[in-house]
Amino acid sequence: MVKPTYNNASVFECKYELDSLAAFLEISTNYYTATNDAAFFAKYNWVSAVEALMNVAEEMMTPTYNANGSVADSPYTFQRLSNRASETLENNGIGNPVQNGTGLIRSAFRPSDDATIYQLFIPANMMFSRYLSSASEIMHQLGYNNTALANRMYSLSCSLREAISNHGIVSSLNNGQIYAYEVDGYGSQNIMDE
- DSSP codes joined into one string, 107-122: -SB-TTSPBPSSSEEH
φ, ψ for residue 65 (rounded to 5)?
Answer: -120, 140
Q: What are the pLDDT digits (tens) for 172-181?
A: 878 789 999 9
Q: What are the pLDDT digits (tens) for 139-153?
A: 999 987 899 999 999
Domain boundaries, given as residue ranges, for the chain: 15-62+99-190
Residue 71: which of 80, 79, 62 has the closest Cα? 62
**Cα→Cα distances 182→63, 161, 173, 175, 189, Å:** 15, 15, 17, 19, 6
pTM of the model: 0.92
Q: In 10 A of CB 44, how many CB atoms?
A: 9
Q: What is the mean pLDDT of residues 57-81?
A: 92
DSSP state of 56: H
Residues with Cβ within 8 Å of 87's Cβ and at least 6 positions away in sequence, in order, are 80, 114, 115
Q: What are the pLDDT digits (tens) for 6-25?
A: 666 665 567 889 999 999 99
Q: What are the pLDDT digits (tens) for 109-139?
A: 999 999 999 999 999 999 999 999 999 999 9
- pLDDT > 80? residue 162: yes
